[in-house]
């Protein structure tokens, strides 16, 4: 089963999506993983009010899928759906992905709440995925 990582704006717009390992366009479970992630946004909103941490750990479950979350100071949400990978690997991945997002956001040409189309950002996220999940 593939792992899906998304970055969602405070207005619930999908800014970025990656899958580890990369899957073909004919992957039938891709829509299910995306649905699971967006359905967990409501639960994430509740969890945010009960903690002071950015990393929210496992926020939801669907069958054998576990949804992990991290919320930035600007309310951008980083979500990952996994089939039970090591929580330490997930935590490290989300923290390093957050660092990459912050570096991207510091670029003067970065447009907040717009889809992330940077190829270098995508390549770095894919390397993180290989490092922690493949």
The Cβ of residue 2 has, within 10 Å, a number of other Cβ atoms equal to 17
Structure tokens of 110?
Answer: 């970065």
Please tell me the pTM assigned to this model.
0.89
Domains and their CATH numbers in the chain? 3-133 (3.30.450.70)
Buried b (16+ CB within 10 A) or exposed e, 47-76: bbeeeeeebbeebbeeeebbbbbbbeeeeb
| Residue 31 clears pLDDT 90, i.e. is over it | no
- What is d(CA 48, CA 56) in angstroms, rounded to the nearest whole number? 7
CA distance 7 to 45: 15
Q: What is the pLDDT of residue 23?
A: 66
Q: What's the whole-number mean pLDDT along residues 106-110?
A: 92
Q: Which residues contact 6 (CB under 8 A, 6 or more apart)?
A: 14, 15, 16, 17, 18, 34, 37, 78, 79, 80
- The pLDDT-based confidence of 90 (bands split at 50, 70, 90) is very high
Q: Which residue has the higher pLDDT, 27 or 104?
A: 104
How high is the pLDDT of residue 56? Answer: 84
φ/ψ (deg, to 5) at 106 = -75, -10
What integer is the mean pLDDT of 108-127?
Answer: 94
Amino acid 27: pLDDT: 61
Whether the predicted pLDDT of 46 surpasses 70: yes
Q: Which residue has the tokens 């997930």?
A: 90
Q: Judging by beta carbons within 10 Å of its beta carbon (0-12, 13-18, 19+), is residue 90 exposed, middle or buried?
A: buried
């Amino acid at each position: 089963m593939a792992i899906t990582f998304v970055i969602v704006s405070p207005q619930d717009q999908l800014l970025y999506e990656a899958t580890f390992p990369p899957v073909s366009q004919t992957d039938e479970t891709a829509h299910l993983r995306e649905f699971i992630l967006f359905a967990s946004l409501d639960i994430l909103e509740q969890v945010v009010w009960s903690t002071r941490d950015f990393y929210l750990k496992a926020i939801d479950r669907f069958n054998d899928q576990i949804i992990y979350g991290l919320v930035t100071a600007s309310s951008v949400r980083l979500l990952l759906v996994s089939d039970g990978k090591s929580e330490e690997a997930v935590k490290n991945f989300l923290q390093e992905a957050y660092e990459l997002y912050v570096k991207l956001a510091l670029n003067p040409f970065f447009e907040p709440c717009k889809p992330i189309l940077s190829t270098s950002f995508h390549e770095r996220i894919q390397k993180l995925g290989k490092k922690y999940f493949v």
